[in-house]
Amino acid sequence: MGTMKRKHSKEFKAKVALEAIKNERKKTTSSKEELDVNDLYKEIGKLKIENEFLKKSTNNC
């Protein structure tokens, strides 16, 4: 049995294209937000270490 080729309307193709673009935007936004969160956690870690160091150095004076 041969495979029948489907014919889609221009409107349907446009809807599919718009949904694909929306999904790409969501993925880009999500990955950017994820990177921002990771950067914030890194910064928090650095500040905690700095804070501990400064506490120890001021106690020794």
Q: Give the count of domains, the chain.
A: 1
Residue 39 lies in a domain: yes
Q: Which domain holds residue 46?
A: 31-61
Residue 20 lies in a domain: no
pLDDT in tens, 22-49: 888 877 777 777 778 889 999 999 999 9
Give CA–CA dist 4/28, Å, rounded.
36
pTM: 0.47
Question: In what helix (H) or strand (E) does residue 35 lie, and over which residues does it extend?
Answer: helix 10-59
Residue 26 lies in a domain: no
CA torsion angle 46 50 55 58 (round to 10): 180
Residue 43 lies in a domain: yes
Give CA–CA dist 55/49, Å, rounded.
10
